[in-house]
Structure 1
């Protein structure tokens, strides 16, 4: 009995500790928002309005996303030698957001003439590894650990060998790791390193809370919240081992500074970008896509969903909303159809709603995915994962489509900053249905206008060219600091304003 009481007291203390952590973070967020002055991010304000023409900017203390700035599109005369650590290199359509970011960014930097060395895991079938037409792009493959991560000892040896090689012999100007591709035990030895975070534990707490609220009575209760709070504390401790941090959303940049307590001059916001040569507005391609898949002209609203069809991407919520709307509204059933691109367990459930209203296409390659975006009237992302910055939203916007997405801080703070771009919804069944009915009521005319605004915003902030130019300038800045270069690459004058 005494042992049971001790266990209860211990459990109660853990719960109290968790509630204290969450409450403290919430209070800090509230106080910060109350004290926020003009440099703080305001979703209702267009980015960059605080800048003045020909203003000289200290990039390391720039409070907003570097995508605001217009860096030269012509590559600099100094070609850098860059080391990249990424757990897995993308293969065809089998890639998550982190892998797609690594592919898009470093192919673009290779195009700009930089010498790129990528340290990644070897695939099961080595002959299937993609080949690229860049002699300055080098891959160093190693066998993954049992958990699928980079073997830190092996990749460190590979890195050291390349760090003193070349003709002439030349060390790396900068080291870039996609999340914990290079773990903190190794990274703390490098002052010329930048890490890009594609999801942190603090964001995941929000996701856990949402999924617990949406849990059905039949599902077992999750006990991950307390563990996640402990994970945040662990991250706060080891994140300091990385010299520079790149946040892929404004929200994460704010969290890294306030909650993780990383000095502002070591946190830089560079939003994700996608290949604007692939993802672009193409009316003819969209029309052909609809015809090839037999979309009847009577369907006056074509909704699109793409990505992994799994629970934490919000598909149980989306499925139930569509199921109810198809059943309860004959007009919606007659005039609307949903195209679902992707792979996962919820694909078969969507098929059960009937091909007249839902068409499941399976996973699509990038070129096919671009045609898919052009075929729809609006793109929907019902994700429950409050992590990173989802590439599908950016791809749809560059194709000229408005977007409907969950009201998460990273999305409302960086992507859907107002109603001219699209729609957001709190993740409940009733409010998702309300948002879908509003989209249906607005119709194609309104959606086309929003789509054009979304396209212009996408080109301005979310292109691969824009992202690569920002990373290039960050890498030049870090390299000049580490090498004692007399030219200060961390000062920038945006003469376009």
Structure 2
């Protein structure tokens, strides 16, 4: 089977949850014998083509790396037509709006090629994220925070345009739509009016072998943080990721646990504001910013922590870092937002809190620290859930079945 995938971002252009997911998916598909070509945006080093792990990557101009544009959508279609003319594709896989240019030209019907679209979030989620920023005014701690809040309104205008003029086009032209969570399926039905028969639920997966439990003693020794209760955040450092709420919680938690340490793994435009917040609250001696950490080293950080925190206010799918922490058999506290309920059943395999609530975060940490047995049971249930529902093998096999189902649907037209 020969498949062409459209996506705005891949791992070679920089780290990110979607980028990790696409790399794992494509690598797995190639191992299963799928001939897969990926059409994406510009490569920072000017590469136009490369093969990695059996996957062909084509870097097309017309926009900045990882960014959509009308020119890129047009150029991506031209590249597809060229490749299809050389060796025909059996199916097209659009990652979110990556295949909008293909849909705009109605090429699926013209060429009788089935189109499968994976949604990693919806425009509805993006709009809700901006509204969450307005609702969480307590997190405005600096001039840059204020500017970020004011940017909500032009961002919402762009997202409303996407909702009315882009989403409907590429979704209506899709033969099959992959929702990555139960909550996402509900939004597709309610807000985007997608027929239920066109929706398949396939959960995003993580590498459950790489992210597996190991001795905490070994991990903390490797990181040089022995003898401390450790809370961990792993995130792109942007305001909507809510890491500021973990720092605010530390201000209260240190009164009870003065030896506690908050490890913040990741980088981003909001890092300076977070560092300044830690200093203003006088908790900077108990908050460590590691910066970017290589993907392969992340399991060490997960296995070193006592509790993983994900206090996001971003309304999207479940963060893969939540799944990775669960896979390492660590108790997770996360915001009850977006698709998080697909990943976590509150009180059984994780704890969910009200988005933006520092008080709820402090209460949840205290609860797990006070009841170590409960924390251990939650962690074991979390690992079990990952193995049963979020394994890489399951995601890849179900994706191939989705391709075959879409191909069969087109043949019946």
Give TM class, smaller chain: 0.7 to 0.9
**Structure 2: gaps (5+ residues):** none
Worse-matched range after superposition: 189-198 or 110-119:
189-198
Aligned pairs for 1:48-447 (under 5 A) are 80-91=1-12, 94-126=14-46, 132-134=52-54, 137-145=55-63, 148-149=67-68, 151-166=72-87, 171-183=88-100, 185-186=103-104, 188-190=106-108, 192-216=114-138, 219=146, 222-223=152-153, 227=157, 231-234=162-165, 237-238=168-169, 239-283=171-215, 286-297=216-227, 299=228, 301-326=229-254, 329=255, 331-334=256-259, 336-344=260-268, 345-346=270-271, 348-349=275-276, 352=279, 354=283, 357-412=286-341, 414-427=342-355, 428-443=357-372, 445-447=373-375
Give the Cα separation in 1 of the matches to 2:236 and 2:48.
22
Pairwise CA RMSD of aligned residues? 2.6
Number of aligned residue pairs: give it: 389
Q: Distance in 2 between matches of 1:440 and 1:82?
A: 49
Q: Compute the displacement of 1:356 (Å).
A: 5.1
- Asked whether the 8 Å contact 1:306–1:341 carries over to 2, the reply is yes
CA distance 1:351–1:288, shift in 2 (3 Å): farther
Asked whether the equivalents of residues 317 and 340 of structure 2 are also in contact (C-alpha less than 8 Å), the reply is: no
Q: What TM-score, normalized by structure 2, do the two folds share?
A: 0.86
What are the Cα deviations for residues 300-340 of structure 1, in whole angstroms up to 9, with x where unaligned? x32111011110001222222222332xx1x3123x22221
The answer to whether the 8 A contact 1:377-1:448 is kept is: no
User: Which segments of 5 or more consecutive residues in structure 1 lack a partner in the other structure?
Assistant: 1-79, 486-497
More displaced, 137-146 or 450-459?
A: 137-146
Aligned match of 1:12: none
- Alignment check: 8 A CA contact 2:100 2:166 kept: no
Contact persistence 1:91–1:129 (CA under 8 A):
no
- Residues 207, 386 of structure 1: 8 Å contact kept: yes
CA contact (8 A) 1:86 1:99 kept: no
Q: Residue 103 of structure 1 aligns to a residue in which SS? A: helix
Q: TM-score, normalised by structure 1?
A: 0.72
* Larger helix share, 1 or 2: 2
Larger relative contact order (Cα-Cα within 8 Å, sequence gap ≥ 6): 1
> Is the alpha carbon distance of 1:155 and 1:453 closer, same or farther for their aligned partners in structure 2, counting shifts above 3 Å?
same
User: Higher Cα Rg: structure 1 or 2?
Assistant: 1
Q: Secondary structure at the match of 1:182?
A: helix
